[in-house]
């Protein structure tokens, strides 16, 4: 383990926030027993994680699954989180987990295509703007000097979550080994009902049209902003996870040169994956 600064440490070539995960926990995941009914949500930070958590939990609850906990972060906890993990091995099924990890850290059992994984991406320009704001309100992260400075660190991969490009590449290259559904933040903004229906099908949850509509309703930006069980408001001393919830806020921050640089990096680093990004 290498300590990078007061906020970040590196382990196995991946950067974590100090206080969030630990090398011992990351190592212990290699012997974490998977159940066929396990569901994992994997994302690079600020890609719509808490939004997708709300969708998955609402679908499962509509289908009759019961969770003993009040809040989404307890119902669908972080796989790598240091706190409150004692009951992970004994939770009733289906167990729902959230993670920002790369595939190499995942419990090996997921390779047998036993568990289900949903991987959500967001276009990197909006993701970095969201992360820039989040770094200003989250105690665990260093307050950025400026957007320009933050973008530089982000593109170098010197932030919690390491390189956005690596995360996307690594998850997309395990698509044939894992039972995985790829979705994007922009898909969900464009047509939330279709995204909810895709997730229902993937999870094997047969909801009525009316129940799908209810899940959509519970997962709108407006409703989540007012729902303390879903919006993590209580985990922040100031600010809000629910900031703007839009595509194209990057246009308010990027210079033309910065935008072109990201376009070039996309081509160089993950151009071969043929992913399509929605920018507005
Ligand atoms: P912005 O900062 O651009 O507003 P994560 O959960 O991975 O940390 O991602 C947080 C981002 O998802 C924030 O983006 C937040 O506003 C957005 N988000 C959360 N819930 C949403 C919803 N129901 N609809 C649209 N965006 C949502």
| Domain spans, the chain | 22-273
Please say if the pLDDT value at position 237 is more than 80.
no
Tokens 């933050």 belong to residue = 150
pLDDT of residue 235: 80
Q: Does ligand 1 come within 6 angstroms of the Cβ of 242? A: yes
**pLDDT band, residue 252 (cuts 50/70/90):** very high
Q: Does ligand 1 come within 6 angstroms of the Cβ of 135? A: no
Burial of residue 241 (CB within 10 Å: 0-12, 13-18, 19+) is buried
Instruction: Give the residue, by CA position, lying nearest to ligand 1 atom 10.
Output: 46
Residue partners of 210: CB distance under 8 A and separation at least 6: none
CA 139 to mean position of chain CA atoms: 19
Please say if the pLDDT value at position 154 is more than 80.
yes
Distance between Cα 47 and ligand 1 center (Å): 7
Instruction: Identify whether the C-beta of residue 116 lies closer than 8 Å to the C-beta of residue 179.
Output: yes
| pTM for this prediction | 0.97
Instruction: Identify whether the C-beta of residue 107 lies closer than 8 Å to the C-beta of residue 78.
Output: no
Instruction: Give the residue, by CA position, lying nearest to ligand 1 atom 5.
Output: 46
Instruction: Give the residue, by CA position, lying nearest to ligand 1 atom 17.
Output: 245
Q: Does ligand 1 come within 6 angstroms of the Cβ of 43? A: yes
Q: What is the pLDDT of residues 28-61, one digit of tens each?
A: 999 999 999 999 999 999 999 999 999 999 999 9
Q: Does ligand 1 come within 6 angstroms of the Cβ of 47? A: yes
Q: What is the pLDDT of residues 79-127, one digit of tens each?
A: 999 988 999 999 999 999 999 999 999 999 999 878 999 999 999 999 9
CA distance 154 to 164: 8
So what's the architecture of 22-273 in CATH?
Answer: 3-Layer(aba) Sandwich (3.40)
Q: Does ligand 1 come within 6 angstroms of the Cβ of 247? A: no
Atom number, ligand 1, closest to the C-alpha of residue 242: 16
Query: Which among 243, 248, 250, 279 is the best mutation to test ligand 1's pocket, defined by most ligand atoms within 8 Å of the CB?
Result: 243
From 100, 133, 167, 172, the catalytic residue: 100
167 tagged catalytic? no
Q: Tell me which long-range contacts 107-112 makes (C-beta under 8 A, separation of at least 24).
A: 107/29, 107/30, 107/31, 107/32, 107/33, 107/34, 108/30, 109/32, 109/33, 109/34, 110/34, 110/38, 110/40, 110/178, 110/179, 111/177, 111/178, 112/34
Q: Does ligand 1 come within 6 angstroms of the Cβ of 160? A: no
Instruction: Give the residue, by CA position, lying nearest to ligand 1 atom 18.
Output: 245
Q: Does ligand 1 come within 6 angstroms of the Cβ of 58? A: no
């Amino acid at each position: 383990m290498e300590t990078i600064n007061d906020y970040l440490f590196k382990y196995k070539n991946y950067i974590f926030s100090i206080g969030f995960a630990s090398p011992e926990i990351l190592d212990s995941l290699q012997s974490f027993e998977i159940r066929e009914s396990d569901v994992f949500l994997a994302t690079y930070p600020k890609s719509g994680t808490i939004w997708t958590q709300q969708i998955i939990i609402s679908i499962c609850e509509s289908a009759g699954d019961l969770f003993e906990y009040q809040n989404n972060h307890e119902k669908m906890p972080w796989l790598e989180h240091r706190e409150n993990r004692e009951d992970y091995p004994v939770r009733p099924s289906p167990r729902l987990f959230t993670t920002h990890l790369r595939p190499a850290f995942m419990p090996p059992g997921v390779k047998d295509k036993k568990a289900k994984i949903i991987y959500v991406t967001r276009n990197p320009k909006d993701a970095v703007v969201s992360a820039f704001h989040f770094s200003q309100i989250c105690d665990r992260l260093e307050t950025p000097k400026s957007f320009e400075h933050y973008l530089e660190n982000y593109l170098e991969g010197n932030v919690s979550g390491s390189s956005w490009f690596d995360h996307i590449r690594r998850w997309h290259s395990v698509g044939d080994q894992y039972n995985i559904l790829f979705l994007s933040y922009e898909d969900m903004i464009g047509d939330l009902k279709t995204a909810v229906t895709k997730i229902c099908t993937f999870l094997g949850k047969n909801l009525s049209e009316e129940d799908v509509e209810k899940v959509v309703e519970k997962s709108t930006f407006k409703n989540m902003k007012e729902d303390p069980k879903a919006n993590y408001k209580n985990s922040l001393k100031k600010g809000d996870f629910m900031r703007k919830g839009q595509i194209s806020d990057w246009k308010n921050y990027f210079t033309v040169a910065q935008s072109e640089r990201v376009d070039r990096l996309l081509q160089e680093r993950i151009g071969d994956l043929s992913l399509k990004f929605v920018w507005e």
